[in-house]
A and B are shown apart, each in its own frame.
Chain A
Amino acid sequence: MSAGSSSRLPRNCPSRREALLATLMLAVAVTSAFPLVWMVLSSLKTPAESMQVPPVWIPRAPSLDAYEKVSGVVNVGRSMWNSLVIASITTAGILVTSMMAGYAFAKYHFPGRSLLFSVLIATMFLPPIVTLIPLYRLVGSIGLNASLAGIIVPNLANAFGIFLMRQFISGVPDDLIDAARMDGASELLILYKIVAPSVAPAIAALALFAFVYHWNSYLWPLTVLQGNADAYPIVISLSRLLSYNRGAVNTGLVMAGATLAVLPPLILFVLLQRFFVDSIVGSAIKG
């Protein structure tokens, strides 16, 4: 399908229409960005400025004091490290299991293939709460509760990753794979040396999704950790700040904490957005 400029809606009255559209788009962008911009601005205010009436929107003398104060309430370093460990290991596991299974579903013919694929894909639509109660007991019974491993291990494979990898690996030419087989390469080597480089943008997109999802994830870590604060990821330790949210005096402190939680996923998104867009456009064109 033509995905270029030719497929866009024709314009009949460019200048007025575009001015109206630009205004609307600006309004949408401002509304969407407002909460996060306000968060960052508030984190740079002094307590006095936070309490001022009428409100000060832009701090006159931006200060980082609030960020220092967050470290007094929450063990930021430890929690950030926990989050990094959880999100990195989980992402690495998802990449490996998804590529292997995606390759099998894309390039092998075996009995029961479509049935197995359907069963796995169905789990994509299962809300986590449906499995939470027995999973909590199950992970406890293998001795992984209240630990980082308990957060990580159940999430090392997921249907979304398998689905995404199968979609993209299907597009890798069979000739390429067969040629490597002729040369005597093992299947794992082919996956690593031939297939993976061909679907690199999709791998980057999956890595971005998985990392951000598991950096942000809350329900499962909260449940499995049973209050073991040493293993808290940043999104759980920061919930302490909610009790500081009454009255305006601590607004800066609370918003500094919120900003700290937002930065890692947002930086990653900005850096990897290109890959993400590539893979969306790629899948749309392959249709």
Chain B
Amino acid sequence: MIQRYRASAGIMLAPAVTLIGIFILLPMLLTIWLSFQDWSTQTPFSSASFIGLDNFREIFGPTSVGRDFKGALTNTVIYTALSVILILPLSVAFGLMVYQHDVAGGTALRTVLFSTYMVPMIAVALVWSKLYSPSEGPLNQMLGLFGIGPQPWLSSPRSALISIVFLNVWQQVGYFTVLAIAGLTQISGSLYEAAKLDGASRFEQFRFITLPLMRRTLLFSAVIAIINAVQVFEPVALITQGGPVGSTNVLTYHIRRVGIERAQGGLGSAMAVMLMLSLIVVVCALFALANRKDVE
């Protein structure tokens, strides 16, 4: 019997494992290997020649390659931090609205919030580049109603990156709201009843029951939000092309430009490896932080 199921396990796993192995795991290993090679993306892998850490020296060096990469890294860090800082509190606030409310409006609000997550980025880019238009854009027209002067949005290096953050928060916050709601449903109602009997205020209930018990959900949301944020590509490729003056040149866009468009496969791979390492460090740090609080 056992033998038979062992064979079945092999058959059941073969398609998924083969596909993921060839199209995700193998390329990941190749990326690491290529980061130590001098290699043009237009040539076969066999033409790569080992150059040690030269690619890494170059992307952190003083030349234009290094300046562009360090700029993209900085932009990505800022972009990711801003996204997480905006998305997490909003998702909890919206989650509480949907979950606490006893009337039908909660479900409707969840539907509206989540529907933006289904919208393809090309539509988001087409719509938001118009909304943000400095002269005839609806956003500046509405600000005008409140006596606020027109904002440059995407056309100024000072505000372009944050404008793209807003656009992404608008699109993704519904997804994180659903995660928050799933976390809220796990909290036992009896805890709130007991706290109320002890005279805890609404804010105290939130501070000492909801927030601590949401920590695992928030950790998961933070990890997903970070991984989503470093992937930002379409709004940059479609609207700003990394500009103005490099202010929205983020890593995914920059790595594709170097590794695919300029065919500098070795350099691009070294950048991709740095991205992967940074992600691992950040995610491990987050988990360590969460576990330390668990012990307290």
List A residues at the B interface (Cβ < 8 Å): 1-3, 5-12, 18, 21-22, 24-26, 28-29, 32-33, 35-36, 38-39, 42, 53-55, 96-98, 100-101, 103-104, 108-110, 116, 119-120, 123, 125-138, 141, 153-159, 162, 187-188, 191, 212, 215-216, 218-219, 222-223, 234-236, 238-239, 241-242, 245, 247-248, 251, 254-255, 257-259, 261-262, 265-266, 268-270, 273, 280-281, 283-285, 287
Query: B residues 39-93 with Cβ under 8 Å of A?
Result: 41, 44-45
Are A55 and B141 neighbours in the complex by a CB distance under 8 Å? yes
Q: Please, how many angstroms separate the alpha-carbon atoms of A119 and B15 in the complex?
A: 16
Name the distance in Å between A206's Cβ and chain B's nearest Cβ. Answer: 13
Are A283 and B182 neighbours in the complex by a CB distance under 8 Å? yes
Q: Please, how many angstroms separate the alpha-carbon atoms of A254 and B109 in the complex?
A: 28
Which of the residues B9, B28, B126, B233 comes within 8 Å of A254, measured between beta carbons?
B126
Instruction: Mark contacts of B211-237 with chain A using CB atoms, 8 A cut-off: 1 yes-contact digit, 0 otherwise.
Output: 000000000000100010011011001
Q: Please, how many angstroms separate the alpha-carbon atoms of A119 and B20 in the complex?
A: 10
Instruction: Mark contacts of B98-139 with chain A using CB atoms, 8 A cut-off: 1 yes-contact digit, 0 otherwise.
Output: 011111011011011111101111111111111101001010
| A97-B19, A130-B276, A133-B41 known; A29-B112 Cβ under 8 A | yes
B residues within 8 A CB of A9?
Answer: 100, 192, 202, 205
Q: Please, how many angstroms separate the alpha-carbon atoms of A279 and B257 in the complex?
A: 39
Are B31 and A131 neighbours in the complex by a CB distance under 8 Å? yes
Q: Is the C-beta of B23 less than 8 angstroms from some C-beta in chain A?
A: yes
Which of the residues A158, A187, A262, A270 comes within 8 Å of B120, measured between beta carbons?
A262
Q: Please, how many angstroms separate the alpha-carbon atoms of A33 and B256 in the complex?
A: 33
A-B pairs with lowest CB-CB distance, top 7: A7-B189, A134-B30, A131-B27, A104-B12, A101-B16, A157-B19, A154-B23
Are B272 and A130 neighbours in the complex by a CB distance under 8 Å? yes
Are B138 and A38 neighbours in the complex by a CB distance under 8 Å? yes
Q: Please, how many angstroms separate the alpha-carbon atoms of A287 and B185 in the complex?
A: 10
Number of interface residues, chain B, beta carbon within 8 A? 101
Name the distance in Å between B29's Cβ and chain A's nearest Cβ. Answer: 9
Q: Please, how many angstroms separate the alpha-carbon atoms of A21 and B105 in the complex?
A: 10
B residues within 8 A CB of A137?
Answer: 41, 44-45, 265
Are A258 and B123 neighbours in the complex by a CB distance under 8 Å? yes
B residues within 8 A CB of A119?
Answer: 25
Secondary structure at chain B's binding surface: helix, strand, loop or mixed? helix
Name the distance in Å between A183's Cβ and chain B's nearest Cβ. Answer: 15
Q: Is the C-beta of B242 less than 8 angstroms from some C-beta in chain A?
A: no
Secondary structure at chain A's binding surface: helix, strand, loop or mixed? helix
Are A127 and B13 neighbours in the complex by a CB distance under 8 Å? no
Instruction: Mark contacts of B258-291 with chain A using CB atoms, 8 A cut-off: 1 yes-contact digit, 0 otherwise.
Output: 0110000100110011011001000100000000
| A101-B16, A123-B20 known; A7-B123 Cβ under 8 A | no
Q: Please, how many angstroms separate the alpha-carbon atoms of A130 and B108 in the complex?
A: 38
Which of the residues B16, B97, B269, B279 comes within 8 Å of A25, measured between beta carbons?
B97
Which of the residues A35, A216, A219 comes within 8 Å of B252, measured between beta carbons?
A219
Q: What are 12 A-B contacts with C-beta separation under 8 Å?
A: A29-B113, A123-B20, A125-B227, A126-B28, A130-B276, A131-B28, A132-B260, A133-B34, A134-B269, A258-B127, A269-B114, A287-B186
Identity of the chain A residue whose Cβ is nearest the Cβ of B110 in the assembled complex: A277
Q: Is the C-beta of B193 less than 8 angstroms from some C-beta in chain A?
A: yes
A residues within 8 A CB of B182?
Answer: 280, 283-284
Are B170 and A32 neighbours in the complex by a CB distance under 8 Å? yes
Q: Please, how many angstroms separate the alpha-carbon atoms of A28 and B9 in the complex?
A: 48
B residues within 8 A CB of A136?
Answer: 41, 260
Are A28 and B113 neighbours in the complex by a CB distance under 8 Å? yes
Q: Please, how many angstroms separate the alpha-carbon atoms of A266 and B231 in the complex?
A: 23
Are B188 and A1 neighbours in the complex by a CB distance under 8 Å? yes
A residues within 8 A CB of B275?
Answer: 127, 129-130
| A138-B26, A158-B20, A269-B115 known; A8-B189 Cβ under 8 A | yes
Q: Is the C-beta of B143 less than 8 angstroms from some C-beta in chain A?
A: no
Are B118 and A187 neighbours in the complex by a CB distance under 8 Å? no
Name the distance in Å between A249's Cβ and chain B's nearest Cβ. Answer: 10
- A-B contacts besides A35-B127, A133-B269, A258-B123, 20 pairs, CB < 8 Å: A7-B192, A22-B101, A29-B112, A100-B16, A123-B20, A123-B25, A125-B223, A129-B251, A130-B276, A131-B272, A133-B34, A138-B27, A191-B12, A215-B120, A218-B121, A218-B122, A234-B122, A238-B126, A257-B126, A284-B185
A residues within 8 A CB of B34?
Answer: 133-134
A residues within 8 A CB of B230?
Answer: 127
Name the distance in Å between B260's Cβ and chain A's nearest Cβ. Answer: 6
Are B120 and A97 neighbours in the complex by a CB distance under 8 Å? no
Which of the residues A53, A132, A219 comes within 8 Å of B259, measured between beta carbons?
A132
Q: Please, how many angstroms separate the alpha-carbon atoms of A261 and B120 in the complex?
A: 7
Identity of the chain A residue whose Cβ is nearest the Cβ of B224 in the assembled complex: A125
Are A266 and B125 neighbours in the complex by a CB distance under 8 Å? no
Identity of the chain B residue whose Cβ is nearest the Cβ of A120 in the assembled complex: B20
B residues within 8 A CB of A257?
Answer: 126
Query: B residues 1-38 with Cβ under 8 Å of A?
Result: 5-6, 8-9, 11-13, 15-17, 19-20, 22-28, 30-31, 34
Q: Please, how many angstroms separate the alpha-carbon atoms of A127 and B229 in the complex?
A: 10
Name the distance in Å between A245's Cβ and chain B's nearest Cβ. Answer: 6
Q: Is the C-beta of B176 less than 8 angstroms from some C-beta in chain A?
A: no
